[in-house]
Structure 1
Amino acid sequence: MPNLVVLGGGESGVGTAILGQKHGYEVFLSDASKIKDAYKQTLLLHNIPFEDGGHTESKILTAETVMKSPGIPDTAPIIKKLHQHKIPVISEIEFTSNHSPLQTVGITGSNGKTTTTMLTHHLLADGGLNVGIGGNIGKSYALQVAEASYSSYVLELSSFQLDGIVKYAPHIAVITNISPDHLDRYEYKYEKYIDAKFRITMNQTEEDYLIYDADDEATANWFRGNTTRARLIPFSIKQKVESGAYLKDDKSIVINIDGGSLIIHTDDISLQGKHNYKNAMAAVIIARILQIEEASIRASLKTFRGAEHRLEKVSIVRGVQYINDSKATNVNSVFYALDSMTTPTVWIVGGVDKGNDYNEIMELVKEKVKAIVCLGVDNKKIIDAFGSVVDRIVEAGSAIDAVDSAQIFAEEGETVLLSPACASFDLFKSYEDRGKQFKEAVRKLQE
């Protein structure tokens, strides 16, 4: 019988299965859905037994350890049975860290974690470190530890991945910010989601670092009732901080770490907008802790390109800038997007609502948005929220319809922004699919 069962046959699951096999585990992988052909071929190549389309409980319930892929909720029947049988259920991050002594940087947060993770990796790799990137981005952490030869890793960590850790402790942890998201996985209790994010620091020691947004309300509230042993390093765009990073006169970021000071002009950062200055602050703090040279940091900040589907400038068509921010699946993300707009904006919004409070962006919508295109099956909540604020609101049932409608409203020198504030699953396979369809629709305008 298997002593390691892997639940989920995607990137995380297949990587864990390969790592487990390498360390001598008898592995069995099970997926309630159909496993993609590419992953099936990988499992067959490694002679790893698997099943899809259902779970064989008799095998699963004999496991010594179960690795649960992050997409599987704790409320799934098989997970409940595993808990009843007191079988440990952990995440890929926990399993991999148990089999790797390598130092990690762990980055979590409701928004900005992908950009911060990519930028951090860019700074460290350009600075000469043999560093991998994984977690919630790219190839699985487990697969890279099994097959690659990196000396350290930068990991993007979701709350779901952090839910499944027991002993994992990053040497450097970052919490970019916290705002309501994925509350359906946390009994619609915001405090449980916040606690999940702060699991990133629960095993850190005095030798480790926790970098955090000093402007973030949820983070500040957590610190009022909780502590961590890690060394705290804040960053802020609103206040000066003695040890950490802050924005000075809206023109430069100042980083003070271990008695050394570094000043970087915002014009020298490839990613613009105050939210991106925060991402840059976190990444530069990490680079300084890991002793990357100042000249290298400056050069790398100029050359970095952002994540796809995150305030991605698609093209300018007849004088109108089209921006793909499909990854913005909550109101907080849209706040940052709208805040960075410098021209009148046609806003494409909508999808599967996750409990959004649109009052949080009402003033920005009044100030920035000239028209709204609703891209979703049920748009009533959006129309009710903004019907008295924005004169022109239309509905669209596809990316092509949305772009066609938006280009009617947008004039030369203005912007069309896809920043949905919602999940994508009513009309699209994923936020990536939504973003790609949007970009294709924009390209068709140029034909």
Structure 2
Amino acid sequence: MRLVVLGGGESGVGTAILGKKKGYDVFVSDFGKIKENYKEVLSINDIPWEDEKHTESLILNADVVMKSPGIPEKTPIVKRLLELNIPVISEIEFAAPFTTAKTIGITGSNGKTTTTLLIYHLLQQGGLNVGLAGNIGKSFAWQVAENNHDVYVLELSSFQLDGVLNYKPDIAIITNLSPDHLDRYNYDYNLYIASKFRITKNQSEDNYLILDNEDVEIKKWLQNNKIKAQIIPFSLLDETEKGVFLKENNINSKINNEEFTMPINELALEGKHNLKNAMAATAVAQLMKIRKQTIRESLSNFQGAEHRLEKTLKIQNVQYINDSKATNVNATFFALDSMQTPTVWIVGGVDKGNDYDELMSLVRQKVKGIVCLGVDNQKLFQTFSGVVDTMIETTSMSEAVKIAQKMAEKGDTVLLSPCCASFDLFENYEDRGKQFKQAVHNL
């Protein structure tokens, strides 16, 4: 069996290692440059590779192709493979059959990293032998090849789910839905939503689907589509017979005849969106039979995700917050909504078809100045130039932070919440967040 891996990054190299271990004839091809450390790993494992090109004669003879999530289906080589009916799958789809571990899959437009890390923390504290993978940490395939975990917590993007044919998580979570990555879905929101719901399409009656009971798009989809899994809803508004809800400032969870309660003021994470993330994680912990005391302790001592509303420093009584992971409008909505003081907002990057109008009332209410940080800021200027007093364009993080410092007064907040992808000026959102933190430390 010939396995061709497109993309020599974390998921690609992980898949190549697992494929080699399982006896496949493996070849890795990357149209960009493969990083030196990955080249080394491939060479040590005697896996042939190429970069800065795709040689058709070495690719089109594949029995199966694993496509890294960052490669769009519109790419010529992917189109050719699909024309030849060669299966093009994701890393998750490839690796899942090679493990007997339980998997918990988390998707959604926002909150998935925090929810994933929170679930991982809960299960780890509960003494389970658990791995963390998917869109985060070490590749799932790589861990399946080298580790022997009993449970995997997987953060799954829509791109990873696009390449799923048979994979089914034991427990699936959809945190919420809002327009994102529409540039990859022909600007059709319904295609993106369908992508997210692939997480449950192979689930059976003995699996669980945990979801936000207040999310308009989720509710709409459930009305028109059949689901086999047992649904466990979470909600801030409605008390449900089964599931997780809010009652008198307590999280209440009723699952499999077990009840769990915890005061929300004991939660480590702040904000309404994090309350929902905590509810989803509580449901998983209960399904996985974690002791109630452990769930309470874990929810109150969780550290949170880096680059997600991360308090960086306070300088001259101005709080600097790194929310670089906010790569879409909905994530930035949560960030602005949780601001308690006048805010200087650093925003911009690669626009993914964003509609900034949703932020208008929050910007009017909370934002005193905007610093644009991107190659093309035209759309931001069109939307907000009459709404805030000051709007300034910058092309580097250090410049953006210096200007924000000048705009901010005592008691204000400087918030990096870009609302956009980072690829115009940075390697990725982590690089953007690290540069922000560095720039703040240099003030």
TM (norm. structure 2) is 0.98
Residue in 2 that maps onto 1:392: 390
CA deviations over 1:279-323 (Å, ceiling 9, x no partner): 111011000000000111111112211111111110111111110
* Cα distance per residue 1:116-137 (max 9 Å; x no partner): 0000000001001101000110
User: Secondary structure at the residue paired with 1:220?
Assistant: helix
Q: Name the counterpart of 1:254.
A: 252
Specify the alignment match of 2:22 in structure 1: 23
Following the alignment from structure 2 to structure 1, what is the Cα–Cα distance between the partners of residues 410 and 251? 33
Letter in 1 for 2:267: I
Please tell me the residue identity of whatever aligns with 1:146: A
State yes or no: 1:215 paired with 2:222.
no
Secondary structure of 2:270's aligned partner: coil
Paired with 1:286 and 1:62, the residues of 2 have a C-alpha distance of: 42
Distance 1:238 1:412 in 2: 37
Aligned residue number for residue 82 of structure 1:
81
* 5+ long unaligned stretches in structure 2: none
**Number of aligned residue pairs:** 443
Q: Which segment drifts farther, 391-400 or 3-12?
A: 391-400
- Partner Cα distance (1:87, 1:397) in 2: 43
Comparing 239-248 with 71-80, greater Cα deviation is found at: 239-248
SS in 1 for 2:436: helix
Q: Which of 315, 318, 330 lines up with 1:317 in the alignment?
A: 315
1:27-61 Cα offsets, whole Å, 9 max, x none, are 11111111110000001111111111212211211
Listed as ranges, the matches of 1:330-345 within 5 Å are 330-345=328-343
Is 1:291–2:289 an aligned residue pair? Answer: yes
Identify the range of structure 1 (420-429 vs 182-191) with the bigger mean alpha-carbon deviation: 420-429
Deviation of 1:367 (Å): 1.3
Cα RMSD of the aligned pairs, angstroms, is: 1.1
CA distance in 2, matches of 1:232, 1:215: 14
1:103 partner amino acid: K
1:186-234 per-position Cα deviation (integer Å, ceiling 9, x unaligned): 1110000000000000000000000011111111111121121000011
In structure 2, the residue matched to 1:243 is 242
Asked if 1:405 corresponds to 2:403, the answer is: yes
| Residue 75 (structure 2) pairs with residue 64 (structure 1) | no
What letter matches 1:366 in structure 2?
Answer: R
Q: Which of 426, 429, 441 does residue 428 from structure 1 map onto?
A: 426
Q: Distance between the aligned counterparts of 1:73 and 1:355, measured in 2?
A: 16
> Is 1:437 aligned to 2:435, yes or no?
yes
Q: 2 CA distance for matches of 1:123 and 1:229?
A: 27
- In structure 2, the residue matched to 1:371 is 369
How far apart are the structure 1 equivalents of 2:262 and 2:63? 51
- Give the Å deviation of 1:63: 1.1
In the alignment, what sits opposite 1:104?
Answer: 103
The code of the aligned residue for 1:161 comes to Q
Overall identity of the aligned pairs, in %: 60
SS of the residue 1:200 aligns to? coil
Aligned equivalents of 1:64, 1:24: Cα separation in 2: 13
Q: Which amino acid aligns with 1:197?
A: K
Give the distance between the partners of 2:263 and 2:346, measured in 1 at CA. 32
Please give the residue correspondences for 1:144-163 in structure 2 after superposition, counting only pairs within 5 Å. Answer: 144-163=143-162
2:160 and 2:154 map into 1 onto residues whose CA distance is: 11
Alpha-carbon shift at residue 101 of structure 1 (Å)? 1.9
Greater CA deviation, 175-184 or 258-267?
258-267
CA deviation map 1:256-286 (0-9, x unaligned): 1122221111221111111111111101100
Separation in 1, partners of 2:50, 2:405: 48
Matches of 1:399 and 1:32, distance apart in 2: 29
Q: Which moved more, 1:147-156 or 1:404-413?
A: 404-413
Question: How far apart are 1:427 and its partner, in Å?
Answer: 1.9
- The equivalent of 2:196 in structure 1 is 197
Q: In structure 2, the residue corresponding to 1:384 is in which secondary structure?
A: helix
Moved runs in structure 1, 4+ residues, more than 2 A? Answer: 238-242
Distance 1:287 1:66 in 2: 35
In structure 2, distance between residues paired with 1:381 and 1:73: 25
Distance 1:339 1:253 in 2: 21
Normalized against structure 1, the TM-score is what? 0.97
- Give the partner amino acid of 1:106: G
Aligned to 1:5: 4
Q: Distance in 2 between matches of 1:243 and 1:361?
A: 34
The farther-off stretch of 272-281 and 49-58 is: 49-58
Deviations 1:366-397 (A, max 9, x none): 11112111112222211221222211222222
Mapped to 2, the partners of 1:333 and 1:217 lie a distance apart of 17
Q: Unaligned regions of 5+ residues in structure 1, if any?
A: none
Deviation, structure 1 residue 239:
2.4
Q: Which residue of 2 aligns with 1:227?
A: 226
- Quote how far apart the aligned CAs of 1:241 are: 2.2
Q: Which residue of 1 aligns with 2:175?
A: 176
Question: Are positions 1:38 and 2:52 aligned together?
Answer: no
Distance in structure 2 (CA, Å) of the matches to 1:376 and 1:5: 36
Q: Distance in 1 between matches of 2:83 and 2:33?
A: 26
| Residues 45-83 of structure 1: CA deviation (Å, up to 9, x unaligned) | 111111112122112111111111111111111111111
Deviating more after overlay: 379-388 vs 431-440: 379-388
